Amino acid sequence: MKRLTLPCGETVPALGQGTWNIGDDPRQRAEEIATIRRGLDLGLTLIDTAEMYGDGRSERLVGDAIAGRRHEVFLVSKVYPHNAAPRAMRRACEASLRRLRVDTLDLYLLHWPGEVPLAETVEGFEALQREGKIRHWGVSNFDPQWMEDLWSLPGGEAAQVNQVLYNLGCRGVEWDLLPALRERHVPLMAYSPLDQARLLRRRELVAFARARGMTPAQLALAWLLAQDVIAIPKTGHAQRLEENFAALQRPLARDELAELDGLFAPPEGPTPLAML
């Protein structure tokens, strides 16, 4: 399994599991749980969830899926921006821990920047760390200016990742955000790596993948893996999870990456950070 190193020195798998919309349909529940557990078997041990997802339904389902296997998992959850001051953050974190039925989160992210001053959010994260409720913290949907603001604060350099929208069809972060993160050795965590499956219907991607005996999802993920980022595709189906996992076995060659640049152009200037 390809792994990336966090600023704290720990490593995490480059391919993880997203869980947005998981737990929403009771008829899918058994298969979704089996899929997450199959992912753990394969080494896809980074699981990303959030208090926001299905109003806690995603966290509850993840809790069921990892019951008895907590030690295998690098567990990531996120706090709403309106809960990002110390007292509200403690309450939000404790509720996430209860839904997940765990004692501690491995990584707790601010879901997106909001009204609460960043310094208070850092304080909140540090307090939760001291109490053992979270091991590490990071951010999500932070553009380069927000990252600079964070890094300029005391303790701000402890952010372990920035989770942002990044996929073959949405490459704006390559202009400024990704280089800035690389300079600080902070991994980018790519959400919606399949553009919520929209990418898989792009004709140029389908043709490129087919010509190489890959599926469109495998190509999209292999491309992200070549960018040295963490990708967290979501699927509720074990067969698709295995398909996605196989992207790790088919690294793209330099000429294939260059050809993909021709089909899905890298940015030619700064672009506002895209968000879902």
Ligand X SMILES: NC(=O)c1ccc[n+]([C@@H]2O[C@H](COP(=O)([O-])OP(=O)(O)OC[C@H]3O[C@@H](n4cnc5c(N)ncnc54)[C@H](OP(=O)(O)O)[C@@H]3O)[C@@H](O)[C@H]2O)c1
Q: Please give the DSSP secondary-structure letter assigned to residue 131.
A: T
57 contributes a contact to ligand X by CB under 6 A:
no
Catalytic-role residue among 53, 108, 166, 191: 53
Cβ 2 to ligand X shortest distance, Å: 18
Q: Is 53 a catalytic residue?
A: yes
Count residues near ligand X (CB under 6 A).
Answer: 27
Cβ 34 to ligand X shortest distance, Å: 13
Q: Which residue is nearest to ligand X (CB)?
A: 18
Using the structure block, give the residue that is written with the tokens 């000429």.
255
140 contributes a contact to ligand X by CB under 6 A:
yes
Characterize 224-249 residue by residue with b for buried, 16 or more Cβ atoms within 10 angstroms of its Cβ, and e for exposed: bbebebbbbbbbbebebbebbbbbbe
Nearer to ligand X, 32 or 176 (CB): 32
Which 183-202 residues touch ligand X, going by CB under 6 A?
191-197, 200
Q: Mask 31-50, x = binds ligand X (CB under 6 A)?
A: -----------------x--
Find all residues with CB under 8 Å of 265, minimum gap 6, and list them. Answer: 171
Joined tokens for residue 231:
């990708």
SS3 content of the chain, % helix, strand, coil (to 5): 45, 15, 35
State which of residues 6, 13, 15, 19 lies at the interface with ligand X (CB under 6 A): 19
Tell me the β-bridge partners of 46: 74
Cite the active site residues. Answer: 53
